[in-house]
Structure 1
Amino acid sequence: MAQFEQVQRFSQGDGPGVATVPDIAPVIERMRVLRTAWPPVGGVEDGVEVFNRVYLTVTETIDRQIDDGAFPDRRAAAALDVRFAERYLSAVDAAAAGRRPPDCWRPLFQYRRHPGVRPLQFALAGVNAHIAHDLPLAVVDTCRALGCAPPDLEDEFDRVGDLLVTMEERIREDLMPGPDLLELADPLTHLLGSWSLERAREAAWSAALVLWRLRDVPLLAEEFRKRMDAGAGLVGRCLLTPCR
């Protein structure tokens, strides 16, 4: 928890003119700790841990690529990645403390041990919540901290988005049930075809632009955020429809 508090202090205390590159290591370590906190029970995997596992892999990849100079602005990329991860970790903390997490995350926490929901569904529901709700807010958080506007982060947003697309492809390859392609009649086939990461990513960027324009109208901004949260939660609940 101390490491995560370090991340929170960065969020609260950083601001325009600070040139240091935010440290991604604390959020990575927190996700690694969570991997051991949710073991399978009766052979059933914890749905939140399924998402945590794949998200940890992507976060580690982003960290390496930032160190390797793959992002044009290392500081902006690291700031966006930290704030993005903080949103997920805050939802985990809320659920662990018995508080209500954002609506987008509630289906995943409610169904996390449902035996009729497949690991692939848990992973995609987590990705949906994280992109549809958390990513636009992380963009705005980062802009406020760095003293810039969303267009200044578009390159970093696109690069992170490309990695998320890679993550989705890996999720489908690793978690697809059975060695063969799903039968056309399998309900999971229809669920997989009903959600697109690319469309979610485009919607997240549009939402970030709207939230940024509404930053001086907090009541409208909060109303927009709530609607965005509720919509993501509805999609997540559909993605977690039991298929067996």
Structure 2
Amino acid sequence: MAQIEHFAVQRDRTRPAELLTPPSSVRSVVERMRNVRYEWPPTDGVAVFNRVYLTVTEELGRQIDGGRFPRPRAAATLGVLFAERYLGAVDAAAAGRRTPACWRPLFQYRRHPGVRPLQFALAGINAHIGHDLALAVVDTAAALGCEPAALEGEFDRVGDTLAALEERIREDLMPGPDLLEIADPLTHLVGTWSLERARDAAWSAARVLWGLRELPDLSQEFAQRMDAGVGLVGRCLLTPLR
């Protein structure tokens, strides 16, 4: 698995992902999300995304605990490595280090008064699903010693849980009908991004990255271009509207 080491996340060295029990592993990332939320004001753009993502990750943990996943270990590993991509970006920003290009717009615009909460949430989802999810699939396949194809069931089930993220955003952050008129620029922005299409693209990207694992230069270039492209979409989503 050395060929894909450049995709690896930093994990707890005393408890590698493949040894974690599903409930405790998901609980650990949930606890980290709960802790970081107190570091930011509620209007902070990263805090907006964190609130929504925390709710979804808590639900994922409940589903794993409740036996909704036939292979809880695989689901938990994917969920944890996926979440750690986001938390790694949070840690990098807090330490003044360069974040991945996909996350950079959200951290740069997080306090902009002209960006609405819905935009912050969509930009975070765009970064996380458009870039992090594909890498998390590759990380999980490497950790569990299997092909990505063996994780398709877990990918789909985790994706179904993530679909609740978009629904939650629309319920909590979408302005009322009297505020969101057809001519409102936010209406256009909301319609330009699709979680379903992003999920499909992430699965395709994961398969490409896995296929390129013995060609590290090409796989790294592909990952970098994917990162840059997702970052460009995120910057568009965060266009100030007032």
Asked whether the two chains share a fold, i.e. TM above 0.5, the reply is yes
Aligned to 2:131: 133
Which runs of structure 1 show a deviation greater than 6 angstroms over 4 or more consecutive aligned residues? none
The letter of the residue matching 1:114 is H
Cα distance in 2 between the residues matched to 1:147 and 1:164 = 25
Secondary structure of 1:9's partner? Answer: coil
Query: AA paired with 1:8?
Result: D
2:127 counterpart of 1:123: no
Q: Deviations over 1:117-139 (max 9, x none)?
A: 00000001000000011000000
Partner of 2:236: 238
Instruction: Tell me what 1:54 maps to.
Output: 52
Q: Which ranges in structure 1 are unaligned for 5 or more consecutive residues?
A: none
Match of 1:31 among 33, 43, 47: 33
1:186 to 164, 184, 207: 184
How far off is 1:20 after superposition?
4.5
Paired residue secondary structure (1:86): helix
CA contact (8 A) 2:17 2:77 kept: no
Between the two proteins, the alignment pairs up a number of residues equal to 233
CA displacement at 1:208 relative to structure 2? 0.3
Q: 1:172 aligns with which of 166, 170, 173?
A: 170
> Which AA in structure 1 matches 2:12?
Q
Which AA in structure 2 matches 1:33? Answer: N
1:14: how far off?
Answer: 4.8
CA 1:70–1:181: 2 relative to 1, 3 Å: farther
- Does residue 9 (structure 1) correspond to residue 7 (structure 2)? The answer is no
Using the alignment, how far apart are the partners of 1:6 and 1:86 within structure 2?
8
* Corresponding residue of 2:226: 228
Find the aligned partners of 1:131 and 1:19 in 2 and give their Cα distance.
23
User: Post-superposition shift, 1:34?
Assistant: 1.1
CA deviation after TM superposition for structure 1 residue 6, in Å: 9.7
Q: 2:82 aligns with which of 81, 84, 87?
A: 84
Q: CA contact under 8 A between 2:11 and 2:17: conserved in structure 1?
A: no
Give the distance between the partners of 1:9 and 1:156, measured in 2 at CA.
25
Deviation at 1:19, TM superposition (A): 8.2
Give the % identical residues.
73
Residues 110/169 of structure 1: CA separation in 2 closer, same or farther (3 Å cut): same
- Deviation of 1:227 (Å): 0.4
Deviates more, 1:56-65 or 1:169-178: 169-178
The equivalent residue for 1:67 is 65
Alignment of 1:206 onto 2:208: no
TM-score, length basis structure 1:
0.91
Moved more, 157-166 or 195-204: 157-166
CA deviation string 1:41-77 (max 9, x = no partner): xxxx100000000000000000000000101100000
For 2:34, the aligned partner's letter is: R
Deviations 1:137-168 (A, max 9, x none): 00000000100111111111111111111210
Aligned-partner SS, 1:184: coil
How much has 1:35 moved relative to structure 2? 1.2
